[in-house]
């Protein structure tokens, strides 16, 4: 149930009936404090001025027209003209019952759009490192949430699989094959790349061969294509292991790397020239953009083809946006890329819009995120100052989780401990990232993310297992709870209202691409449940009807926590 939208519609009707213009904004929000009701409508202030009334006058007239019978049990004016809405208990009861009866917790599917999500995007012949973590984790949460809401999601893994470095990589792979060391060399991609680079810098003959291979590869030479493909395959199958371990939904077929757009590039350059957007400048092809100024305050030049004929990262992103609209039929495109690439994207998209490749009605959105920092506030690095390999980071998370869980449960069998450590350790890394507003840098802190208290994965996973254990311990079949929800206590009402805000939370997450909103919601829900559970005995309820009703509230809480965590890609367990 999208309560916010329902109330916004009713309040807006009443505002219009009270004399406000048809496009007035009711500004309905969830109330921050219980004494302000469940929702507040704050739109009166802005409109009253225009109508020459005091906000209070308008609020009073609005209230006369506002019909929330059956939905609200009390509506009052507060302060200068805020309207506080208290939801009716009967209404909450009915809504909880119908959410429980539905297979999707009462959440309707949205009108389906085709949404392309660009995320993860590691580079070939390089290990995925912590810099790709945020994109992978946050992007996947967006993909899962949009899928749950009924959209057609296309996951686009814009892998860095093209560029002049491939000549060097092919030449080096060839050398390792000849030495019969191919397998060892590719097991450690980071080393492979570093060694290839060293050889290139030190061995002129090798460097010459590497340069020849680039040209051949670009010309479609069969041998070079084959070697290139091998590099892509090996990298992506190593990355796939990380995705699977991370419980990230990306698959091999989601790879749409930079090379996919190669064939489009000459046509794009020619077209931009024909449209008068691109000009020749000292042998290179450049688009000058008035929207961006260089240091001298002149329009900034974006190179789309170099003097030597080579294309650039920007050229590829222009083609890529065009492809996503024309070929994939995207209605909306989300890019989960680190905030340092913001200017790059805006330039590419400005050109895309000017050239008419993607209509304005199709949003291209940069869902930027900050860097991952160490506890010292500096970019997150190993002690030796190197980049941290993602797989090492995950191993450490699991081993730390294992120590913590074993400390709490000394008798837990080893196999269960291993499984739980994986779920909690990986969950902790993901949730730490998801729960922070993505636009800021974030500090990677093992102790905070693995704490069993606070807005963390272990706490949320534990909260879920605690709710669901009520049923197991009492031997109650979840699907066989009888009766209806009856709301008596204020804590029951508060829990019920919050449960019904799941849909609004989902909608906000997909509108703004902000999974931390879901984390805050679930954390709050778990807290409300704790308060309810402490003060409103469930199994020891005073009578059968109350017991059944409370069991139902517990059940919807468990299902909401599970479904919510699932949209974030966080796994749950029944026992912890």
What is the contact surface with ligand ARG in residues (CB under 6 A)?
118, 121, 123, 158, 160, 317, 320, 335, 337
Q: By C-beta, is 335 or 444 nearer to ligand ARG?
A: 335
For the bound state, the minimum distance from the C-beta of residue 200 to ligand ARG, rounded and expressed in Å, comes to: 21
CB of 286 to ligand ARG, least distance (A): 20
DSSP 274: H
User: Between residues 123 and 557, which has the closer beta carbon with respect to ligand ARG?
Assistant: 123
The per-residue DSSP string of 217-246 comes to HHTT-HHHHHHHHHHHHHHHHHHHHHHHHT
- Of the pair 133, 398, the CB lying nearest ligand ARG is at 133
Give the Cα separation of 306 and 285 in Å (integer).
7
Give Cβ neighbours of residue 190 (< 8 Å, ≥ 6 apart): 126, 127, 389
Count Cβ atoms below 10 Å from residue 184 Cβ, excluding itself. Answer: 12
Strand 114-118 with 152-156, pairing: parallel
Closer residue to ligand ARG, CB minimum distance, 118 or 433: 118
- Give me the least distance between CB of 123 and ligand ARG, in Å please: 5
CB 119 within 8 A of CB 138: yes
Q: How far is the CB of 139 from ligand ARG (least distance, A)?
A: 10
CB nearer to ligand ARG: pick between 151 and 367? 367
Q: How far is the CB of 258 from ligand ARG (least distance, A)?
A: 8
Nearer to ligand ARG, 12 or 315 (CB): 315
DSSP three-state, residue 107:
coil
Rounded to a whole number of angstroms, the minimum distance from the CB of residue 81 to ligand ARG is 47
Q: Are 125 and 235 in contact (CB under 8 A)?
A: yes
Q: Rounded to the nearest whole angstrom, what is the least distance from the CB of residue 381 to ligand ARG in the complex?
A: 17
* Least Cβ distance, residue 337 to ligand ARG (angstroms): 5
Min. distance of Cβ 320 from ligand ARG in angstroms? 6
**Based on CB atoms, which residue is closest to ligand ARG, 317 or 433?**
317
Q: Is the dihedral of CA 317, 318, 322, 323 positive or negative?
A: negative
Residue 33 CB-density burial (10 A; 0-12 exposed, 13-18 middle, 19+ buried): exposed
Apex CA 519: angle with CA 513 and CA 521, to 5°? 100
Q: Which two tokens stand for residue 211?
A: 């340069």
In sign, the C-alpha dihedral spanning 225, 231, 236, 241 is positive
Whole-number Å distance between alpha carbons of 567 and 223: 43
Task: CB nearer to ligand ARG: give 335 or 521.
Answer: 335
Give whole-number Cα distances, 323 to 18, 124, 268, 490, in Å. 49, 22, 11, 54
State the nearest-atom distance from the C-beta of 164 to ligand ARG, in Å. Answer: 15
Q: How far apart are the first and last CA of the chain?
A: 31
Record the tokens describing residue 93, joined without a space.
């009861």
- Minimal distance in Å, beta carbon 196 to ligand ARG? 18
Dihedral sign of CA atoms 501, 507, 509, 512 in order: negative
- The least CB distance from residue 360 to ligand ARG, in Å, is 20
Q: Which long-range contacts (CB under 8 A, 24 or more apart) does 270-279 make?
A: 271/355, 272/304, 272/351, 272/355, 275/354, 275/355, 277/351, 277/354, 277/355, 278/304
The residue among 162 and 464 lying less far from ligand ARG, judged by its C-beta, is 162
Rounded to 5°, the CA angle 471-476-480 comes to: 115
CA distance 141 to 131: 17
* Structure tokens that stand for 440 in this block: 């800021």
**Nearest CB to ligand ARG, comparing residues 234 and 517:** 234
- Smaller CB distance to ligand ARG: residue 38 or 317? 317
List of residues 6+ apart from 183 with CB closer than 8 A: none
- For 154: left if phi > 0, alpha if psi spans -120 to 50, otherwise beta; the answer is beta
Shortest CB 157 distance to ligand ARG, Å? 9
Give 43 or 257: the residue with its C-beta nearer to ligand ARG: 257
Select 53 or 196, whichever has its Cβ closest to ligand ARG: 196
Measured distance CA(28)–CA(4) in Å, rounded: 6
Nearer to ligand ARG, 161 or 492 (CB): 161
Alpha carbon dihedral 132, 301, 289, 257, in 10-degree steps, equals: -30
Beta bridge partners of 114: 152
The minimum distance between CB 181 and ligand ARG, in angstroms, equals 27
H or E segment and range at residue 187: helix 182-187
């Amino acid at each position: 149930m999208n309560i916010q939208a329902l109330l916004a519609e009713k309040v807006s009707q009443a505002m219009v009936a009270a004399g406000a213009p048809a496009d007035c904004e009711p500004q309905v929000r969830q109330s921050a404090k219980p004494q302000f009701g469940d929702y507040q409508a704050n739109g009166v202030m802005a409109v009253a001025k225009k109508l020459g009334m005091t906000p209070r006058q308008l609020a009073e007239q609005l209230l006369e027209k506002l019909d929330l019978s059956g939905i609200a049990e009390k509506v009052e004016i507060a302060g200068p003209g805020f309207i506080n809405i208290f939801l009716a208990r009967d209404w909450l009861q009915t809504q909880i019952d119908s959410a429980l009866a539905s297979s999707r917790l009462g959440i309707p599917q949205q009108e389906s759009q085709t949404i392309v999500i660009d995320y993860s995007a590691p580079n070939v012949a390089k290990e995925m490192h912590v810099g790709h973590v945020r994109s992978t984790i946050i992007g996947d949460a967006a993909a899962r949430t949009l899928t749950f809401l009924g959209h057609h999601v296309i996951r686009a893994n814009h892998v860095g699989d093209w560029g002049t470095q491939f000549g060097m990589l092919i030449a080096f792979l060839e050398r390792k094959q000849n030495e019969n060391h191919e397998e060892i060399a590719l097991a450690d991609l980071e080393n492979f790349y570093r060694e290839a680079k060293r050889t290139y810098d030190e061995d002129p003959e090798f460097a010459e061969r590497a340069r020849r291979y680039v040209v051949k590869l670009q010309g479609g030479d069969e041998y070079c294509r084959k070697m290139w493909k091998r590099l892509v395959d090996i990298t992506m199958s190593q990355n796939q292991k990380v995705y699977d371990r991370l419980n990230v939904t990306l698959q091999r077929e989601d790879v749409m790397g930079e090379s996919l757009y190669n064939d489009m590039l000459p046509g794009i350059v020619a077209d931009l020239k024909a449209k008068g957007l691109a000009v020749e400048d000292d042998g290179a092809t450049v688009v000058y953009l008035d929207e961006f100024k260089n240091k001298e305050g002149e329009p900034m030049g974006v190179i789309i083809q170099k003097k030597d004929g080579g294309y650039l990262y920007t050229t590829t992103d222009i083609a890529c946006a065009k492809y996503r609209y024309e070929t994939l039929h995207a209605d909306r495109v989300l890019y989960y890329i680190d905030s340092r690439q913001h200017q790059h994207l805006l330039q590419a998209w400005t050109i895309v819009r000017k050239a008419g490749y993607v209509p304005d009605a199709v949003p291209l959105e940069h869902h930027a995120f900050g860097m991952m920092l160490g506890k010292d506030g500096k970019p997150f690095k190993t002690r030796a100052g190197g980049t941290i390999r993602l797989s090492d980071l995950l191993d450490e998370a699991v081993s730390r989780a294992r120590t913590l869980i074993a400390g709490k449960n000394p008798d837990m069998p080893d196999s269960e401990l291993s499984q739980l450590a994986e779920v909690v350790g990986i969950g902790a890394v993901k949730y730490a990232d998801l729960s922070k507003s993505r636009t800021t840098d974030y500090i990677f802190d093992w102790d905070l993310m693995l704490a069993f208290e606070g807005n963390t994965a272990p706490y949320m996973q534990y909260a879920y297992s605690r709710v669901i254990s009520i049923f197991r311990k009492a031997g109650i079949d979840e699907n066989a709870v009888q009766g209806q929800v009856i709301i008596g206590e204020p804590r029951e009402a508060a829990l019920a209202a919050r449960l019904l805000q799941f849909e609004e939370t989902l909608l906000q997450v997909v509108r703004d691409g902000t999974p931390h909103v879901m984390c805050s919601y679930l954390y709050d829900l778990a807290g409300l449940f704790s308060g309810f559970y402490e003060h409103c005995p469930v199994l020891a309820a005073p009578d059968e009807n109350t017991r059944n009703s409370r069991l139902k509230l517990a059940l919807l809480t468990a299902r909401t926590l599970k479904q919510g965590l699932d949209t974030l890609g966080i796994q749950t367990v029944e026992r912890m």
